[in-house]
Amino acid sequence: MTDLDRPWDVHPQVSVRPEPFGALLYHFGTRRLTFLKDRRLLAVVQSLAHAPTARAACQSAGVEESELPRYGRALAALAESSMLVGRAS
């Protein structure tokens, strides 16, 4: 699970394209394509750059406290595939 109490951001080589079902994330460096099938996860990903922590990004997207473990796992999967990178505080 991703450390929700640290800042994260979309990798600079990743393009985020919103779609009716969620979004497509394309990493130009690895040429990997990822589908987000949750519009709230898209809102979290889009707000990471402006939020002080991933937890704050989740809260701003309306993620409930009980849902945080699931969103933490989703963010961890995105980080493992280099779609997200840690950001200096």
Give me the CATH number covering residue 45.
3.90.930
pLDDT in tens, 30-63: 999 999 999 999 999 999 999 999 999 999 999 9
User: Partners of 34 in the beta sheet?
Assistant: 25
* 28 in any annotated domain: yes
Give me the domain span that covers residue 31: 8-82
CB 15 within 8 A of CB 28: yes
* 88 in any annotated domain: no
Q: What is the 3-state secondary structure (H, E, C) of 6-66?
A: CCEEECCCEEEEEECCEEEEEECCCCEEEEECCHHHHHHHHHHHHCCCHHHHHHHCCCCHH
* 1 in any annotated domain: no
pLDDT at 88: 82
* 87 in any annotated domain: no
pTM for the predicted model, two decimal places: 0.92
Q: How many domains, in total, are found in the chain?
A: 1
* 3 in any annotated domain: no
* 89 in any annotated domain: no
CB 63 within 8 A of CB 45: no
* 53 in any annotated domain: yes
Structure tokens that stand for 19 in this block: 């779609």
Neighbours of 24 (CB within 10 A): 14
